[in-house]
Amino acid sequence: MSSAAHRGDHDIAFYEAAIEETHRLDVTATYSQLPDVDGALRPGRYLIQLFNPSNDTAVCWVHVGKFEKAVSLAGTAGPGVRRVPLSKQAIIAIETHVLVGHSDRIGAIMSAGTGTLFVTRVSSETRTGYKRA
């Protein structure tokens, strides 16, 4: 093995399965995001679920970006960079990785009506070979 070789199981298990904290975000046609009081999301794998959209055809646009205190992500109800649509008719949940300084803030906007997002960390970082930023 060369000195550049590493264990493949670390790649597979970079994040270990665990059910951890859940954040609630009430979403309307006005952009909202998880509050600054909670700070940046901790690194890990997250499940983002849309619950109870008031309009069957509405789309909830989930935005991810870098956490900066008192700075909002761009709130647009439409396609774009780091945005994904959730709806009752198509996808109601996604899984994503939160990385420090890259995707540690989440916000959302509804195209119409209201809904609730639950953002749940479903993994924790493995300790082997990973240094926290």
- DSSP assignment of 64-131 equals EE---TT-PPP--SS--TTEEEEESSS--EEEEEE-TTTS-EEEEEESSS-EEEEEEE-EEE--TT--
Beta bridge partners of 98: 44
- 22-75 pLDDT tens trace: 999 999 999 999 999 889 999 989 999 999 999 989 999 999 999 999 999 888
Give residue-wise pLDDT tens across range 67-119.
999 999 888 899 999 999 999 988 889 999 899 999 999 999 999 999 999 99
Record the pTM.
0.79
* Domain 17-125 belongs in CATH node 2.40.480: no
* 8-state DSSP, 38: G
